[in-house]
Amino acid sequence: MAYLDHAATTPMLPEAIEAMTAQLAVTGNASSLHAAGRRARRTVEEGREMLAEALGARPSEVVLTSGGTEADNLAVKGLYWSRRTADPRRVRILASPVEHHAVLDAVHWLGDQEGATVEYLTVDRYGRVHPEALREAVGDHPETVALATVMWANNEIGTVMPIRELADVAHEFGIPLHADAVQAVGQVPVGFADSGLAAMTVSGHKIGGPYGIGALLLGRDHSPVPVLHGGGQERHVRSGTLDVPAVAAFAVAARLATERREDFAREIGALRDELVAAVRSAVPDAILGGDPVDRLPANAHFTFPGCEGDSLLLLLDAQGIACSTGSACTAGIAQPSHVLLATGTDPDLARGTLRFTLGHTSTRADVEAVAKAIGPAVERARTAGLT
């Protein structure tokens, strides 16, 4: 199989599998005080330190979660509740319209259930939020803004956001900025301290770690209201028994992903460029999505006029090629991509998309498989659409 859906999940790194396997037979709750518990706690804290070093943060800023979705919800809901409690005027949420649904749906819920005023930031045709757009959205009443949230890199079209510049604008007005960096880690430079962010979401299974583990990097000046209540683990903002084997594997994956980032970007970026050239050669009217230059090195997103993305996906899948039409979390839903609609793409065009994403196991043979299959698949999908 030619697996080209690494943005949905990428295979675990052998080193992460080794780290996880070594802990699976070890008993101990990291919150227990006996020797077994202390041993588990040591593994967790060593993992936390490794994660912090890889992500440019302090260990105390790493709040472990069950994954990116929980971390996004904790950031968005928790910061909104805490900021509104401190000042009831703070009811506005500024969000980019191209966010992952883990952020968008949390924002929608706050608007529907908690009285938040949700305002969407303007994006350009590449899906990028410019600092001027954030400044304009803040307007004359920054004291009414609870938080802003803009992803580091888009999961569908691969566009990278100017996070440092956006954070500078937010800081100027005293507004906490959260960024979902799930797709960015291991592909572009990501440093929490240097970013100026108040909170940043990362996930294990996107970088060669296991499913079910992630983290919210949280500035020490911020204390979101918990989404989960219980034992008070993780700075009293995220209760729950820690998954020690997953933490160990996540930490190793993060270390390796960041250490190997430059090589990954160069080698996988070159392979991605070959894929883009092959698709354009086979389907000359295919439209490359996202910024043509300032994008994730592993992302190639295309719109195919006259096609339905789901049909193309299934035609390629039948030939052993795995890709997606966009976010895996919304796959199978027959509606145009909200990301493309936000960029001004025609709704009919926005239905005919495929996302090819590469990873550490990708090879030239994968690209060659796409080059061979994509032309006939598009022709067949277009013919089917005319009948």
pLDDT tier, 385 (very low <50, low <70, confident <90, very high otherwise): low
Cα–chain-centroid distance for residue 160? Answer: 11
The C-alpha angle with vertex 294 and arms to 344 and 151, in degrees rounded to 5, equals 65
* Residue 24 pLDDT: 97
Average pLDDT (84-111) is 98
Average pLDDT (83-93) is 98
Is the pLDDT score of 122 beyond 60?
yes
Domains of the chain, earliest start first: 2-9+261-386 (3.90.1150.10), 14-259 (3.40.640.10)
- The candidate with the shortest Cα–Cα distance to 207, out of 5, 13, 2, is 13
* Residue 330 pLDDT: 53
* Residue 57 pLDDT: 98
Is the pLDDT score of 337 beyond 70?
yes
Region of 155 please: left (phi>0), alpha (psi -120 to 50) or beta. alpha
Is the pLDDT score of 328 beyond 80?
no
- What CA–CA distances, in Å, run from 53 to 64, 145, 152? 15, 32, 19
Q: Report the mean per-residue pLDDT for the chain.
A: 96
- The candidate with the shortest Cα–Cα distance to 59, out of 77, 72, 74, 41, is 41
Is the pLDDT score of 329 beyond 60?
no
> What burial class does residue 223 get, using C-beta atoms within 10 Å of its C-beta: 0-12 exposed, 13-18 middle, 19+ buried?
middle
* Residue 327 pLDDT: 53
pLDDT above 70 covers what percent of the chain? 97
Q: What is the DSSP string of 114-164?
A: S--EEEEPP--TTSPPPHHHHHHHHTT-GGGEEEEE--SB-TTT-BBP-HH
pLDDT tier, 384 (very low <50, low <70, confident <90, very high otherwise): confident
Average pLDDT (14-26) is 97
For helices 131-138 and 163-172, the axis angle rounded to 10 degrees is 20
User: Is the full-model pTM beyond 0.75?
Assistant: yes
The residues that are catalytic are 329
* Residue 138 pLDDT: 98
